[in-house]
Amino acid sequence: MSVAEKNKIDEVWKKIFYKKRILIIEDEPGLGQALISVLEKYLDQVEVAKTSRSALNRLSRRSFDLIISDIIHPKIEGIELMKKIKDRADGTPIILMTYHPAVRHTFEVLHYHVDDYLIKPFNEEQLTAIILKALLE
């Protein structure tokens, strides 16, 4: 992709999605910060919750247009967290991130209507493509 094409895509992103609010649930500080660095180029409101408790507290105070979450969290399984999120933010698209795409998780993800998943490590293009898809549906 040329620089001009990349700049055009960036401008479209900013026009359409700049005011969207995204919650990232990630306990790994380096990945959480990397996601913020990428997404703040396109979005005005990106928040990171480092724990499932923090994520649920944020969801009880405000709504989000998209939730991106690691599938494994200390103290609570990612799928259990998804059940609780769906109770509080039903209809909000959810993207799960994982290092280990296990079959059991795939079936549970489908059952709880998680919109998509990312296998770590992923690049900026993969991340933005999945977010674009989730926000447009």
Q: How confident is the model at residue 9 (pLDDT cuts 50, 70, 90)?
A: confident
* Cβ–Cβ under 8 Å, residues 38 and 86: no
Q: Domain limits of the chain?
A: 3-136
* Cβ–Cβ under 8 Å, residues 69 and 82: yes
> What are the Cα distances from residue 77, in Å, to 36, 66, 70, 106, 119?
23, 20, 10, 14, 17
Q: Which residue has the tokens 């489908």?
A: 110
- pLDDT tens-digit map of 84-124: 888 888 789 989 888 776 655 565 666 666 778 888 889 98
Q: Classify 3-136 by CATH class.
A: alpha beta
- pLDDT tens-digit map of 17-47: 778 899 999 988 888 899 998 888 888 899 9
Whether the pLDDT of residue 16 is over 90: the answer is no
> Given CA atoms 40, 1, 124, 112 in this order, what sign does their dihedral have?
positive
Annotate 39-103 with DSSP letters as a single string.
HTTT-SEEEEESSHHHHHHHHHH---SEEEEESEETTEEHHHHHHHHHHHSTT--EEEEES---H
